[in-house]
A and B are shown apart, each in its own frame.
Chain A
Amino acid sequence: MPAATRVLKPHQSAKLRVAGALLAAAASLAACNSKPPDPQAALIARGREVFFNETFSGNGRTCGTCHREARNFTIDAAFIATLPKNDALFVAEFNPDLKQNFENPRLMREFGLILENLDGFDDLANKFVMRGVPHVLAQRTSVASPQGPRTGWSGDGAPGDGSLRSFATGAVIQHFTKTLNRVAGVDFRLPTDAELDALEAFQLSLGRQADLALPLPLRGTVAKRGQEIFLDNGLGKCNVCHGNAGANLAPGNNANFNTGVEDLPDQPARLTGEKVPRDDGFGRPGDGTFNTPPLVEAADTGPFFHNNAIQTIEGAVAFFNGQAFNNSPSGRFLASTDPNGVGIRLDATQVVAVAAFLRVINGLENIRQSLELLTQSEALGFFDAARAKPLLMRAANETRDATAVLAGAGLHPQAVALLNEARRLAERAADSFFGRRSLTREAIQALERARADLIEGPK
């Protein structure tokens, strides 16, 4: 008898009814088993929603247009090349009101540079700077200073009280406007107080919430030597300004320095012949200083410096060896305090070692974030697949980043293999209903084994 016409016997029907009832009961219990709402978590969730979805009645851009989660909250030319032509990032290419003096599409597509009128809006054709998109990770550790908050590449990015909370207001005015008139209520609307609160909470929740405590018990030979050079205030001198590979001179003391980046010859954007005015940094007129960014997140958030002048982390480390830095106020100051009158002078192998150290600590941070996301996903109930999936995909992305920063310099091949395995398991978990939690646990184990290849000791 064909299956389609088969009639169930009474005991078979009864079994099916019981199974259905049990499944329904389990679903109900899962819904009841919910913790009381956490106001801070709700604020962060609201901030996430605003960050990625709110256009503020402007030209279609959101904060997430430039600060892409899939690219560690920044963008580069390679990522930009994957975007469709009608992406809001390219609004200057298809909105006739923004065709002139809003962006430079060539520099955006080739170097990931964004136009900003930090010295005023009175002469849009000539008064502007071209800057990369800074990531917004670990801001809880990198914005505070005794003089007040420092935001953006030059530390003076926010209007109003200059705080991280106020930053979004300035960003909407600069980047979201429908026309160059920038009239509030016409070309955009300003963020409300509630939206500013939510955006601040969301941004502060991203990435590291505390600085590292160097030295770390690293396993890799070259990275270990790189850490030594980094911490040696007579050799690498990196730790002087980037304490514990962060953004601060001391905890809560983020600072600005003139390191001579603008004096680099052959800057990629200027090689094109496009107009790229000199960027004078903090203040108006600028004093030539720029804000110190954290280094833990550096290796997978290039290109580097405010103008995307250097593509690789090795190149960024080597910059401090060169004339532009050593002739700068910061370089000359370091030299003046050095017993041998030297600013920073590293040989090639030492540059590579410091870069390897930065790659490894970035990889460790990727692993930490991925473990956090996988653990959150594992804690979700059996019927919470819809909430688990984005966590698993973000974990997979972080794991991919860790793979790239290590494999990019041939570091820790065993860890790279384990990271690839972890990523595949996370991706499978994202698409699996019945196997989600066990696959997640396997991914966690693979990540922990990868981590153990990079660093000694407990988690």
Chain B
Amino acid sequence: MRTFLSALGVAIALISAVFQVHAQKETERFIPIGQSPGVSQKYTSIGEISEVDAARRTVTVAEQAGRRTVKITEKTRIWLDRTKLKQANLSGSFTDLQKGRRVEVKYEDPERPQVADWVKVEIARP
């Protein structure tokens, strides 16, 4: 019985380990650039888009610490931050990632920041 119980406990622990925790991304859309709690400035880059490579689906962000190129995948969420226009934030697409626009990019993995988990693009002019 003890062996059975131990095996059951290990099995359930293994199953629970499969479930990766992640943050609630839907409300993230409404958080302006630089204000994501526990994330902005720690696991994100904030700066201006200096280069866009549509073929490779990468953008280069010029931030204070230098330049960083990140890949935009199909899973990357892109939001238009229209807070300065006092308008609702919207979902965006790769074409909204334009040179000169201010962005905040969160990395999918802090250890390997080559892939973007989400990108907020500031839309300051109508």
Where the two chains meet, the residues of A that have a C-beta atom closer than 8 Å to any C-beta of B are 117-122, 145-150, 152, 155-163, 165-166, 169-170, 173-174, 181-186, 190-191, 193, 196, 233-234, 240-241, 249-250, 253, 255-257, 282-284, 287, 289, 333-334, 337, 339
Q: A240-B12, A249-B12, A337-B7 are in contact. Are A162 and B21 (CB under 8 A)?
A: yes
Q: A158-B24, A190-B32 are in contact. List 17 more A-B contacts (CB 8 A).
A: A118-B24, A121-B26, A122-B91, A146-B17, A148-B22, A150-B21, A155-B19, A160-B36, A161-B36, A169-B31, A174-B27, A183-B82, A184-B83, A193-B37, A253-B13, A282-B19, A287-B19
A-chain residues with CB within 8 Å of residue B24 when the two chains form the complex:
118, 152, 156-159, 162, 170
In the complex, which residues 4-57 of chain B have their Cβ closer than 8 Å to any Cβ of chain A? Answer: 4-5, 7-9, 11-13, 15-17, 19-32, 35-40, 42-43
Pick from B4, B19, B43: contact of A255, CB under 8 Å: B19
Bound-state CA distance A284–B27 (Å) is 13
The 6 closest A-B pairs by CB, nearest first: A161-B38, A162-B23, A160-B37, A255-B16, A148-B21, A166-B37
Question: Closest residue to A127 on the B side, CB-wise?
Answer: B26
- Range of interface residues on chain B? 35 or more
* A162 → B minimal CB distance (Å): 4
Bound-state CA distance A150–B31 (Å) is 20
In contact, B19 and A233 (Cβ under 8 angstroms)? no
Question: Closest residue to A182 on the B side, CB-wise?
Answer: B30
**25 pairs, CB–CB < 8 Å, chain A vs chain B:** A118-B26, A121-B30, A122-B91, A147-B20, A158-B23, A159-B27, A160-B36, A160-B38, A162-B21, A163-B37, A165-B38, A166-B23, A170-B27, A183-B82, A183-B83, A183-B87, A185-B32, A193-B37, A196-B37, A233-B4, A233-B5, A233-B8, A253-B13, A289-B19, A333-B15
In contact, A166 and B38 (Cβ under 8 angstroms)? yes
Q: A159-B36, A183-B87, A249-B9 are in contact. Are A256 and B26 (CB under 8 A)?
A: no
The reply to whether the CB of B1 lies closer than 8 angstroms to some CB of chain A is: yes
In contact, A121 and B29 (Cβ under 8 angstroms)? yes
Bound-state CA distance A282–B21 (Å) is 9
* A152 → B minimal CB distance (Å): 8
Bound-state CA distance A282–B82 (Å) is 28
In contact, B19 and A337 (Cβ under 8 angstroms)? no
B-chain residues with CB within 8 Å of residue A150 when the two chains form the complex:
21
In contact, B13 and A250 (Cβ under 8 angstroms)? yes
In contact, A253 and B16 (Cβ under 8 angstroms)? yes
The reply to whether the CB of B65 lies closer than 8 angstroms to some CB of chain A is: no
Per-residue CB contact flags for chain B residues 67-93 toward chain A (1 = under 8 Å, else 0) read 000000000000000110011110100
A-chain residues with CB within 8 Å of residue B83 when the two chains form the complex:
183-185
In contact, A161 and B86 (Cβ under 8 angstroms)? no
Question: Closest residue to A172 on the B side, CB-wise?
Answer: B27
In contact, A160 and B23 (Cβ under 8 angstroms)? yes
Pick from A122, A155, A169, A233: contact of B27, CB under 8 Å: A169
In contact, A173 and B27 (Cβ under 8 angstroms)? yes
